[in-house]
Each structure stands twice: as structure tokens, then as C-alpha cells.
């Protein structure tokens, strides 16, 4: 569902451009709003959310899908934790649909899906692993890297239930905006994938904006 934001970028308390292949790991407090802006279009922002109070409580695709009765995420979706608590609500979305089924790219899946010589290519899972290693204060490790949301990624379900990775439906300037319902750690890998159309074979930066 397309829904425009009422917030002005000029009033944001924090703005960070995240290059493709980099990660973003910051706390967003309950009541704050976070926007992920697809600066150049057709990018994939592979995102995980954790409770700041207890990172063992984290975004759960299964609980979110079951509670809303729909596999796509868009305005109105409430992102649920593995303890079935609401973590964030999508309050604006100019892309219209986001994936939470396709998973994130990894060097291992690149070799299985594409070619053995793709193993050396940088992948989202590496960015997350680097993030938890470089941000020890959150006390997280490899086991905390779980199932994610692919903002701006287009993974339509076929009539007989199949999954397909398709060319993106996002475009330059499209965004998704969420209000935090608890204090959350936001962990984004701005996808460096070069082998599938999730980012039009051309990884580009995204911007993260936060409002009080």
C-alpha cells in the first residue's frame, strides 16, 4: 500500500548514507521514526531488528506473517518479535511492497545459486558478521544473525506458491518508514549482490533518517 510520509527530512535528528556493501547498526528508541531511503532505486536493504534491552528478542518473519495474514510487508504492517511483541510499525511506504521470505545473500548461497568462483564475492551475511564483531557493546554474535527483511526487494509469490526473485519495483527516492514501538537495534546490510536482479546488478547507497 502506497502511503506518503508527513515528515520533513530537514527535521530529522540523524541522517546517514550507507554505501552498498556497508552496514548500519544503530539504536532507534521507542517513539522515534526511522526511514530507509532508496537513493538511486532498485537497491536491497537487508535488515534485522533486535530489542535493545534483550537482543535475544528479535524480528520474526514467521510471527509477522501469521499475525498480519500476508506475506508482503508495507504500510500498516506491524513487525513482530519472536516473543510476539510488536517491534515497529511501517507507517509510510512509497515502494509498496517489501520481501521477508527471500533471505539474505551469503558467500555459501552465492556458490550454490551462481558459481563456485562467486565465493570470494562480498555478501550481506559478511556485513552483518562484521557489524556484530565491530559493535561488541551489543553483545551479539554469529547466532544472532537470523531471518531478515529485504526492504525494496521484489520476491513475488507465484499462483502455485513458488518464490521468484524479480527486477525491483523500487525507484530513486522511494522509501519505507517505521515507528519504533520498543527500543530497537537496527542492523542493515546494504546489499552488495551482483548476481541477481534484486538491485538491478548495480548496488547503490541508501540513506537512513531518524526523527524524534
Which of 196, 210, 204 is closest to 106 using CA atoms?
A: 196
- Supply 153's cell numbers: 526487494
Residue for cell digits 529485504? 150
Nearer to Zn ion among residue 36 and residue 191 (C-beta): 191
Examine residue 45 and tell whether it contacts Zn ion (CB under 5 A).
Answer: no
Stretch of 101-109, 110-118, 132-140, 174-182 lying at the interface with Zn ion (CB under 5 A): 101-109
Residues 141-170 binding Zn ion (CB under 5 A) are none
Examine residue 191 and tell whether it contacts Zn ion (CB under 5 A).
Answer: yes
**Cα 110 from Cα 117, distance rounded (Å):** 9
Nearer to Zn ion among residue 47 and residue 81 (C-beta): 47
CB within 8 A of 8, min separation 6: which ones? none
Nearer to Zn ion among residue 79 and residue 124 (C-beta): 124
- Supply 80's cell numbers: 513482530
Question: Whole-number minimum distance, CB 46 to Zn ion, in Å?
Answer: 5
Q: Are 2 and 94 in contact (CB under 8 A)?
A: yes
Question: Whole-number minimum distance, CB 212 to Zn ion, in Å?
Answer: 31
Q: Give the other-Cβ count within 10 Å of 106's Cβ.
A: 17
Stretch of 67-75, 89-97, 118-126, 168-176 lying at the interface with Zn ion (CB under 5 A): 118-126
Nearer to Zn ion among residue 14 and residue 115 (C-beta): 115
SS3 category, 151: strand
Which residue stretches of the chain are H helix?
61-68, 107-113, 124-134
Examine residue 193 and tell whether it contacts Zn ion (CB under 5 A).
Answer: yes
Question: Whole-number minimum distance, CB 191 to Zn ion, in Å?
Answer: 3
Q: Which of 20, 61, 124, 155 binds Zn ion (CB under 5 A)?
A: 124
Which of 164, 159, 125 is closest to 145 using CA atoms?
A: 125
Stretch of 53-61, 64-72, 116-124, 134-142 lying at the interface with Zn ion (CB under 5 A): 116-124
Stretch of 19-27, 83-91, 104-112, 174-182 lying at the interface with Zn ion (CB under 5 A): 104-112
Start-to-end CA distance of the chain, whole Å, equals 24
Q: Are 113 and 104 in contact (CB under 8 A)?
A: no
Question: Whole-number minimum distance, CB 5 to Zn ion, in Å?
Answer: 26
Interface with Zn ion (CB under 5 A)? 105, 124, 191, 193
Amino acid at each position: 500500500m502506497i502511503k506518503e510520509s508527513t515528515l520533513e527530512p530537514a527535521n530529522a535528528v540523524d541522517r546517514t548514507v550507507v554505501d552498498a556493501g556497508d552496514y548500519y547498526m544503530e539504536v532507534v528508541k521507542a517513539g522515534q521514526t526511522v526511514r530507509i531511503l532508496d537513493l538511486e532505486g532498485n537497491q536491497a536493504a537487508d535488515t534485522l531488528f533486535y530489542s535493545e534491552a534483550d537482543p535475544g528478542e528479535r524480528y520474526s518473519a514467521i510471527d509477522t506473517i501469521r499475525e498480519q495474514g500476508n506475506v508482503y510487508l508495507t504500510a500498516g504492517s506491524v513487525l513482530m518479535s519472536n516473543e510476539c511483541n510488536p517491534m515497529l510499525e511501517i507507517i509510510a511506504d512509497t515502494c509498496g511492497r517489501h520481501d521477508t521470505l527471500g533471505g539474505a545473500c551469503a558467500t555459501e548461497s552465492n556458490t550454490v545459486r551462481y558459481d563456485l568462483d562467486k565465493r570470494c564475492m562480498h555478501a550481506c551475511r559478511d556485513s552483518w558478521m562484521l557489524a556484530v564483531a565491530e559493535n561488541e557493546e551489543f553483545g551479539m554474535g554469529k547466532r544472532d544473525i537470523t531471518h531478515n527483511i529485504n526492504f525494496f526487494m521484489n520476491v513475488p509469490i507465484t499462483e502455485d506458491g513458488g518464490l521468484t526473485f524479480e527486477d525491483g519495483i523500487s525507484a530513486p527516492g522511494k522509501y519505507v518508514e517505521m515507528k519504533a514501538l520498543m527500543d530497537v537495534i537496527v542492523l542493515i546490510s546494504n546489499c552488495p549482490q551482483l548476481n541477481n536482479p534484486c538491485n538491478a546488478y548495480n548496488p547503490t547507497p541508501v540513506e537512513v533518517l531518524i526523527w524524534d
